[in-house]
Amino acid sequence: MTSQAHSSQPSAPSGCRLKAWPRLLWVLLAGLGPGAWAQQGTQPHSIRIEGDIKLGGLFPVHSRGPVGVPCGEIKKEKGIHRMEAMLYALDQINSDPDLLPNITLGARILDTCSRDTYALEQSLTFVQALIQKDTSDVRCSNGEPPIIPKPERVVGVIGASGSSVSIMVANVLRLFAIPQISYASTAPELSDKSRYEFFSRVVPPDSYQAQAMVDIVKAMGWNYVSTLASEGNYGESGVDAFLQISREAGGLCIAQSIKIPREPRPGEFEKIIKRLMETSNARGVIIFANEDDIKRVLEAAKRANLTGHFLFVGSDSWGAKSSPILDQEDVAEGAVTILPKRASIDGFDQYFTSRSLENNRRNIWFAEFWEDDFKCKLTRPGVKFDSSRRKCTGEERISRESHYEQEGKVQFVIDAVYAMAHALHSMHLDLCPGYMGVCDKMDPVEGRMLLQYIHSVNFNGSAGTGVMFNENGDAPGRYDIFQYQLSNVSNPGYRVIGQWTNHLRLNSEEMQWSGGDRRIPDSVCSFPCEPGERKKMVKGVPCCWHCELCDGYQYQLDEFNCDTCPFDMRPLKNRTGCRPTPIIKLEWSSPWAIIPVFLAILGILATTGVIATFIRFNDTPIVRASGRELSYVLLTGIFLIYLITFLMIAEPSVVVCAFRRLLLGLGMCIAYAAMLTKTNRIYRIFEQGKKSVTPPKFISPTSQLIITFILISVQVFGVFIWFGVMPPHTIIDYEEQKPPNPEFARGLLKCDMSDLSLILCLSYSLVLMITCTVYAIKSRGVPETFNEAKPIGFAMYTTCIIWLAFVPIFFGTAQSTEKMFIQTMTLTVSMSMSATVSLGMLYIPKVYTIIFHPEQNVQKRKRSFKAVAQAATVSTHLSQKSNDKQNGESKIEPDRSQ
């Protein structure tokens, strides 16, 4: 195997003129921009390794140079390590008797200088052999056609590294059907086979990485994050993939999506931190950025005194590297990073550490690497020695006199070379069965057919993991998930906390955050609503909402809606559902009941005492003079008035409700019908006495009873009509005690009597009472000792005052939550007081006389109606003294038994 360094373009034989280059080649060269090839002057340096089949190689051996210079400093790890990995893989394959036996793989390896346009210039080397040259007008000096050397041909290309470089190169290689396998390009757009048909890669695309990062964010319960991307293909494509996948997955919102310029101005990173803090709840920051940008973001966060605030989720450009977090470890604490699953290849370590200036002459850049790695200077012919640096001895050894750590993508470079070798091996088995070496069917190798074999490979790679390609030419997504931990760990640094292979496996119990906290911090726009609160979404931001309490009698129907509880229910305390409203009634032990019951008991005892006294002294003059029959009727009405208190307080039932209807107005009706009959009789007697000595009609006891019962029958008849139209029943009123606070809501068990029906039930009795009052007023001129007109009058006046006070109290409490209790108490107390007034003014004095002054309870001379008529006439002529004397001699109680 031979190696050569080439720096000049192959020329035509001496004496020949080459007048025409292919038109296409000139078009390609013209598109490279001014001075493209002029920068090098000739064909660029490259490594050429002879072989039966040649592979191309593209590696960033040098960094991007300053303006006007294509290449800068040498890149030891990403350049030399990766390029040597290809050489190592070629050596391994060529020495393997089972893989491509009797076929040697060669190579043409070029430097891309980490610049896409420069890489495109280099890639033209790979297509020269495929460009048909027109030599029809080219002649040598002797007139014979020229002998033009056949350009070398590459069947496939390994590389490039950066996605932007691979995209540029893939556009050219596609034109000439040259398959390309990248070891590091992860841009999602390279999966588009309509544009990059011949591109494949042994690393997963960033779309897988973005999917893994979305899964990580959702596994940590975050739904509100920001994104940071370095300007360029890698950063912007990665963030775009993250945004697209998060939109498709749903439940994840982007607070800020910030781009870091290629050439950031002073203060740019402070502005970035300030923008991130505009949505401070979005503590999670998804970062697709290069190492320098990551470091400067961390520095800016530290300067802003925001250590521990931001929770970074870094892409594979951060991975498990120490350089981005150097001196910023406290800011980076808790950062979750992702890295394609890979392993260190021991065979490569042994190979690379054994390289020296003597045994590695095929690598034309190795001397430059040697000087940079050992910080020394080699003497070269024609180059003045720099006395400021020590002279290289050539005896230095890698990893002994210098630090060595295998670059992370070495595994993938080796796998890419092996993938090409396995595809060629399968192709050889199919096209050249049993043939030793390259047969005619593989000379030349047809690119489109080789691409099909590449997509069909399936073998265990250098790290023992499977190497294969999907329909887009992408490798399976296999990632390790790291977290940078500082606190409570014996060895601070990156720790593997999970893996992602098409789905996430995250060991959240191994995660640790700032200060050693094990609880995953929040990165949410809005925190979950409390039970009983609904979400009111912020327009246009599905992850942000305001929490609104389901107020009043509403409960939480679902995440976004409240609904009103049924009329007979009230919400639970946490408002997640409804519960039955407690049902109450007026209890006997309630203060609203104790006072009316006490008054009613006193009234019943007093009424019973009066009735008993009257029965005991039924035939005495006072009892007979009071009109025994109507007195017993009136006392019965008074007794029923007191009794209604117990029915109004008793637990409502159909029977109780029926008796309430019947007795509520009946007691008053009986009492006032009797008193009306009495006052009407007195009034008619004295009015008739003014006109003649003939007594008026219907003044006998029997007539009085008939009149009274006729008046009472109207009330009874009305009540029974009510029974027929609307049978009595109980109801539970949930509206009466329904205050704003549902905790105090109660259902009231009561009879089906509205305020209106109650007043209508009493209205007839009130009419009788008012009529009786009118007669009492008209009879006010009757002498006090002559009859009961005056006591009845005073009783009626007082009763009217009581009921006038009753109306505003009864209806003024209609809006009170204690309405039923207040109205029940007001009604029963008013009825008891009106009954007490009648009892006290009409019968208590008589009972007092009967019991304590029996001497006054004696029979007196009976008077005829003529005497009554005379008395009535005398009462209208009080100024006549002579008649006063006659009447004074004849003051005798009239016989009411007429």
Mean pLDDT over the full length of the chain: 84
Q: Does a structural domain hold residue 28?
A: no
Report the C-alpha gap between 857 and 867 in whole angstroms: 22
Same domain, 167 and 247: no
Q: How confident is the model at residue 132 (pLDDT cuts 50, 70, 90)?
A: low
Q: How far is CA 574 from CA 526, 529, 559, 582, in A?
A: 20, 12, 14, 17
- Point out the domain boundary residue: 580, 614, 637: 580
Q: Which of 52-61, 146-155, 550-559 has the lowest mean pLDDT?
A: 146-155
Higher pLDDT, 335 or 676: 335
Instruction: Out of 420-429, 567-576, 589-598, give the one with best mean pLDDT.
Output: 420-429
Predicted confidence at residue 384, as pLDDT, reads: 64
Predicted confidence at residue 505, as pLDDT, reads: 93
Q: How confident is the model at residue 434 (pLDDT cuts 50, 70, 90)?
A: confident
Tokens matching residue 880: 């006549």
Report the C-alpha gap between 389 and 249 in whole angstroms: 58
Same domain, 211 and 279: yes
Same domain, 197 and 306: no
Q: How confident is the model at residue 689 (pLDDT cuts 50, 70, 90)?
A: low
Closest CA to 235 of 304, 314, 289: 289
Question: Are 6 and 152 within 8 A, CB to CB?
Answer: no
Given a cut of 60, is residue 694 above it in pLDDT?
A: yes
Predicted confidence at residue 885, as pLDDT, reads: 38
Give 656-673 as a DSSP string: HHHHHHHHHHHHHHHHHH
- Point out the domain boundary residue: 851, 876, 893: 851
Q: How far is CA 864 from CA 50, 781, 788, in A?
A: 163, 20, 18
Report the C-alpha gap between 366 and 343 in whole angstroms: 25
Average confidence (pLDDT) over 818-845: 86
Q: Which domain holds residue 826?
A: 591-851
Same domain, 368 and 277: no
Tokens matching residue 718: 């009305």
Predicted confidence at residue 527, as pLDDT, reads: 85
CATH number of the domain bearing residue 692 = 1.20.1070.10
Same domain, 405 and 484: no
Same domain, 788 and 743: yes
Same domain, 440 and 319: no
Q: Does a structural domain hold residue 41?
A: no
Report the C-alpha gap between 369 and 378 in whole angstroms: 11
Q: What is the pLDDT of residues 607-645, one digit of tens each?
A: 999 999 989 988 888 888 777 888 899 999 999 999 999
Amino acid code (one letter) for 387: S
Q: How confident is the model at residue 806 (pLDDT cuts 50, 70, 90)?
A: confident
Same domain, 603 and 572: no
Q: Does a structural domain hold residue 516?
A: no
Other residues' Cβ atoms within 10 Å of the Cβ of residue 518: 11
Question: Are 696 and 673 within 8 A, CB to CB?
Answer: no
Report the C-alpha gap between 447 and 180 in whole angstroms: 10
Q: Does a structural domain hold residue 192?
A: yes
Other residues' Cβ atoms within 10 Å of the Cβ of residue 110: 28
Given a cut of 60, is residue 320 above it in pLDDT?
A: yes
Same domain, 277 and 174: no
Same domain, 641 and 549: no
DSSP 150: P
Q: What is the pLDDT of residues 453-484, one digit of tens each?
A: 999 999 999 988 889 999 999 999 889 999 99
CATH number of the domain bearing residue 233 = 3.40.50.2300
Same domain, 309 and 169: no
Average confidence (pLDDT) over 662-672: 88
Exposed, middle or buried, 216 (CB in 10 Å: 0-12/13-18/19+)? buried
Predicted confidence at residue 871, as pLDDT, reads: 52
Q: Does a structural domain hold residue 238?
A: yes
If one counts the domains in the chain, the total is 4
Average confidence (pLDDT) over 91-106: 95
Average confidence (pLDDT) over 495-518: 89
Same domain, 88 and 210: no
Report the C-alpha gap between 830 and 594 in whole angstroms: 15
Average confidence (pLDDT) over 14-39: 38
Predicted confidence at residue 270, as pLDDT, reads: 94
Q: How confident is the model at residue 700 (pLDDT cuts 50, 70, 90)?
A: confident
Q: Does a structural domain hold residue 454?
A: yes
Question: Are 600 and 639 within 8 A, CB to CB?
Answer: no
Predicted confidence at residue 801, as pLDDT, reads: 87
Higher pLDDT, 19 or 770: 770
Q: Does a structural domain hold residue 154?
A: yes
Q: How many residues does the chain have?
A: 898
CATH number of the domain bearing residue 552 = 2.10.50.30
Given a cut of 90, is residue 44 above it in pLDDT?
A: no
Beta bridge partners of 612: none
Q: What is the pLDDT of residues 864-892, one digit of tens each?
A: 445 555 555 554 454 343 334 333 333 33
CB contact burial 309-338 (16+ within 10 A = b; e otherwise): bbbbbbbbbbbbbeebbeebeebbbbbbbb
Higher pLDDT, 20 or 334: 334
Q: Which of 19-28, 81-90, 806-815 has the lowest mean pLDDT?
A: 19-28
Q: How confident is the model at residue 695 (pLDDT cuts 50, 70, 90)?
A: low
Predicted confidence at residue 613, as pLDDT, reads: 92
Q: How confident is the model at residue 799 (pLDDT cuts 50, 70, 90)?
A: confident
Q: Is 297 helix (H, G, I), strand (E, B) or coil?
A: helix
Q: Does a structural domain hold residue 35?
A: no
